[in-house]
Each structure stands twice: as structure tokens, then as C-alpha cells.
């Protein structure tokens, strides 16, 4: 393995930040933020039972589906990125934890997946050209919450927006 050069490290950091912003966008139902992660001509494939099409349309689809849920949280880990000039590839593990009320019962849904992304840097900004979302495992179970968590919001009123500044 060769030593990373500072420019590669900066590119890898920028791509990692975009992965984090993607998770934030779907958790806060922030469609404009989600669209900013994808180039205008980006495509996605969320598998046989998921969305296939344009990246911007995928964000609309995902946020619409998440609005039907009680809550959701996405975490990204094990991020591996290869940079080749103005193009890059990445694999990032994602754990999505979702809550839904179905037939009067609170259901806890967990999805373990990987985002396999192709990136390019255009006009100085790294964005996704194509995403394959590969689901490795999933589960659903009934849960009894310990508390009501009313502080978190799935919009711009979430405390994170004031902490980070309105323009971020």
C-alpha cells in the first residue's frame, strides 16, 4: 500500500463528508441537501425491491417513504475510498434503524447495507455519479420504547440546524 498524498487525503475527506451529509439528508428529510450529494446526471440502483433511476429522484422517493415512518437514523462506517485524479470509488457500510407503527404496533426495522459509489469532482465539488445500494441483511421486530423522544425533528427545526448554522 502506498502512502497517501495530502491531496488524496483532502479528496477522501470531502467524499466522506458527502456520505455523512447524505445520511443527514434522509434523516432530516432534507431533499435539497440530499440532491446536492448527486450530480444532476447521477444514477442509483437500490436493488430489485428498491428505487432505480436518477439520483435526484431517489432522494424524493426515499424522503417520501421515510415520511411514513415514526423515526429513522442512518450511520455510515467502514468507509474505503480510492481516488484516481478527478474520479473516485467508495464502499461504505450503512446501518439504517427505522421505526414504524403498523397495525397499532411499533416496529423496529434494521437494515445493514453498503453504498458502492462512483464519484467525480466537477467544478471543485465531489458528488456521486452512480450508487449501488447493496442490502446484506434486514430485520423487523416489535418493540416497546423506553421513553417518548420528542426533541428530535425530521426537518429544519432539529437542534442540529441551529448548532451548525442555518446555511449548512
Domains located in the chain, CATH noted: 6-150 (3.10.450.50)
Distance of CA 62 to the CA centre of its chain: 10
User: What does pLDDT average to over the chain?
Assistant: 90
According to the model, what pLDDT value does residue 143 have?
81
pLDDT in tens, 61-86: 999 999 999 889 999 999 999 999 99
Burial class (CB in 10 A: 0-12, 13-18, 19+), 119: buried
According to the model, what pLDDT value does residue 152 have?
62
pLDDT in tens, 106-154: 999 999 999 999 999 999 999 999 999 999 999 999 987 766 666 565 6
Q: Are strands 125-142 and 38-45 parallel, antiparallel or unpaired?
A: parallel
According to the model, what pLDDT value does residue 49 have?
87
Grid coordinates of 35: 440532491
The yes-or-no verdict on residue 55 having pLDDT over 60 is yes
- Whose cell is 464502499? That residue is 91
Distance, CA of 98 to CA of 79 (rounded, Å)? 22
Distance, CA of 113 to CA of 121 (rounded, Å)? 25
Distance, CA of 111 to CA of 133 (rounded, Å)? 11
The yes-or-no verdict on residue 168 having pLDDT over 50 is no
The yes-or-no verdict on residue 17 having pLDDT over 70 is yes
pTM for the whole structure = 0.85
Angle at 88 between CA 87 and CA 93, to 5 degrees: 155
The yes-or-no verdict on residue 28 having pLDDT over 50 is yes
156 and 28 Cβ atoms separated by less than 8 Å: yes
46 and 38 Cβ atoms separated by less than 8 Å: no
Amino acid at each position: 500500500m502506498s502512502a497517501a498524498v495530502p491531496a488524496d487525503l483532502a479528496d477522501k475527506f470531502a467524499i466522506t463528508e458527502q456520505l455523512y451529509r447524505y445520511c443527514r439528508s434522509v434523516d432530516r428529510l432534507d431533499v435539497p441537501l440530499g440532491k446536492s450529494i448527486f450530480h444532476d446526471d447521477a444514477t442509483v440502483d437500490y436493488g430489485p425491491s428498491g428505487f432505480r433511476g436518477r439520483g435526484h429522484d431517489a432522494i424524493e422517493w426515499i424522503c417520501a417513504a421515510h415520511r411514513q415512518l415514526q423515526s429513522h437514523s442512518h450511520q455510515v462506517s467502514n468507509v474505503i475510498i480510492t481516488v484516481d485524479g478527478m474520479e473516485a470509488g467508495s464502499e461504505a457500510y450503512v446501518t439504517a434503524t427505522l421505526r414504524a407503527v403498523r397495525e397499532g404496533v411499533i416496529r423496529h426495522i434494521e437494515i445493514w447495507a453498503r453504498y458502492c459509489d462512483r464519484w467525480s469532482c466537477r467544478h471543485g465539488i465531489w458528488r456521486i455519479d452512480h450508487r449501488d445500494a447493496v442490502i446484506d441483511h434486514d430485520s423487523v421486530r416489535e418493540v416497546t420504547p423506553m421513553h417518548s423522544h420528542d426533541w428530535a425533528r425530521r426537518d429544519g427545526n432539529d437542534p442540529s440546524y441551529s448548532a451548525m448554522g442555518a446555511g449548512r
